[in-house]
């Protein structure tokens, strides 16, 4: 008996259809893998951050544990360091902060913030939940989450002992230290080394003094041709007032411009790289110098920290706050401006 034509072609077509469907479904997981963002890297690729241990373990109860927070960013990008709270530290505590190491890399910068942590009980700990807020040169804000950092702390007490055995272990008598015979030849080596270091120090100090004297003379000759820093700053302040940003409610843009004018003035007046520093780095820098008195340092610090709240934390100020900030910068410039002949 003859078989209809559609029965002859139906099975090969079905096999092809189901084979294509299976291949298509298997391709979806592979394609989705490319959409996963790299941990510690912002979606726009401007900032990347990570936590690293400075030394390998094992770590014991009470040890000082070095942890580095490494932040890399594109030029013009600013950030706020994360806040280490009890929840983020996971049972550890910050014993000290060693400072910030700044490096220039191709196309941007690299900052290393060093911390010393301690734990007072054995166990597995984890630093987690840290987020870094940042802003690019165009004022666009973003945030990057850090990958967790596990830390294991080991007990100094022997394992597998009950309470009575641990007590007996702690009451064992200690042996007296054995003294070593004196070696006076090391004193001569030490004395000779100190003499050599003294000679090298004196030579370096002499060369440094001559170099500074020459460089200072050349710098003074160049500075005569430059416009005084306070004139530039006062002119920019007048332009800012004419823009009437406070009246228009543009507080974020107002504080951004005003803090930039303050930083530019400090950079031009005292030759510090204020425009390239974060607020924390800038305040540490002026705190170690005698450019400003204590009242001026305090006023400038309060203004810059309040500006960061407006720019990064979306704080809503009032018009009077902006006028007060403007008066602070005017007063700082007038009190610290350089003396110029024929000043109007």
pLDDT, position 304: 92
C-alpha 164/C-alpha 189 separation (Å) is: 52
Quick one: pLDDT at residue 343?
Answer: 59
pLDDT in tens, the chain (344 residues): 333 333 333 445 445 444 444 444 434 333 333 233 346 888 888 899 998 998 887 888 888 888 888 999 999 899 988 888 888 888 888 888 877 889 999 889 999 989 898 888 888 998 988 898 999 988 899 999 888 999 998 876 665 556 666 556 555 545 566 566 666 677 888 888 899 999 999 999 889 887 776 666 565 555 445 789 999 999 999 999 999 998 998 989 999 999 999 999 999 999 988 888 999 998 998 888 888 999 998 999 999 999 898 888 778 888 888 889 999 999 999 999 988 766 55
Other CB atoms within a 10 A radius of the CB of residue 104 amount to 10
User: 11 is written with which tokens?
Assistant: 């099975």
pTM: 0.39
3-class state of residue 127 by DSSP: strand
- Both tokens of 163, joined, read 């309470």
| Number of Cβ within a 10 Å radius of residue 109 | 16
- What's domain 47-156's architecture? Sandwich (2.60)
Per-residue pLDDT at 218: 61
How many whole angstroms separate alpha carbon 134 and alpha carbon 308? 11
* Distance separating alpha carbons of residues 161 and 155, to the nearest angstrom: 12
Query: What are the phi and psi torsion angles at 2 (to 5°)?
Result: -75, 140
Distance between CA atoms of 125 and 89, rounded to whole angstroms? 8
Give the pLDDT score at 56: 85
- Reply yes or no: is the peptide bond before residue 62 cis, omega within 30 of 0: no
Provide the residue count of the chain: 344
For position 341, what pLDDT does the model report? Answer: 65
Distance CA 322, CA 219 (A): 37
Q: What is the pLDDT of residue 182?
A: 66
Tokens, residue 258:
């005003």
Q: Where are the beta strands (DSSP E) in 195-272?
A: none
For the purposes of burial, counting CB atoms within 10 Å of the CB of 278, is it exposed (0-12), middle (13-18) or buried (19 or more)?
middle
Instruction: Please state the domain extents for the chain.
Output: 47-156, 185-225, 229-336
């Amino acid at each position: 008996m003859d078989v209809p034509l559609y029965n002859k072609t139906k099975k090969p077509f079905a096999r092809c259809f189901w084979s294509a469907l299976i291949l298509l479904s298997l391709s979806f997981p592979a394609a989705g893998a490319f959409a996963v963002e790299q941990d510690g890297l912002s979606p726009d690729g401007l900032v990347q951050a990570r936590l690293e241990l400075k030394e390998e373990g094992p770590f014991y109860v009470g040890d000082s544990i070095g942890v580095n927070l490494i932040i890399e960013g594109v030029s013009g990008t600013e950030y706020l360091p994360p806040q280490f709270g009890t929840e983020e530290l996971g049972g550890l505590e910050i014993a000290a902060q060693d400072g910030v190491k700044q490096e220039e890399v191709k196309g941007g910068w690299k900052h290393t913030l060093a911390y010393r942590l301690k734990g007072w009980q054995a166990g597995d700990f984890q630093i987690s939940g840290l987020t870094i807020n940042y802003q690019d040169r165009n004022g666009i804000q973003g945030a990057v989450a850090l990958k967790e950092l596990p830390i294991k702390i080991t007990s100094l007490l022997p394992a597998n002992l009950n309470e009575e055995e641990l007590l007996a272990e702690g009451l064992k008598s200690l042996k007296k230290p054995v003294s070593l015979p004196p070696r006076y030849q090391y004193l001569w080596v030490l004395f000779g080394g100190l003499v050599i270091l003294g000679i090298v120090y004196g030579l370096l100090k002499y060369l440094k003094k001559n170099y500074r004297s020459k460089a200072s003379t050349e710098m003074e000759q160049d500075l005569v041709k430059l416009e005084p820093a306070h004139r530039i700053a006062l002119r920019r302040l007048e332009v800012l007032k004419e823009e009437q940003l406070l009246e228009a409610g543009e507080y974020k843009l107002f504080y951004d411009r005003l803090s930039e004018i303050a930083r530019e003035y400090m950079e031009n007046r005292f030759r510090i790289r204020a425009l390239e520093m974060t607020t924390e780095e800038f305040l540490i820098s002026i705190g170690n110098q005698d450019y400003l008195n204590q009242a001026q340092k305090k006023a400038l610090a309060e203004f810059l920290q309040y500006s960061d709240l407006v720019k990064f934390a979306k704080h809503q100020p009032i018009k009077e706050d902006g006028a007060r900030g403007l008066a602070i910068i005017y007063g700082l410039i007038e009190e610290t401006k350089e003396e110029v002949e024929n000043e109007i």
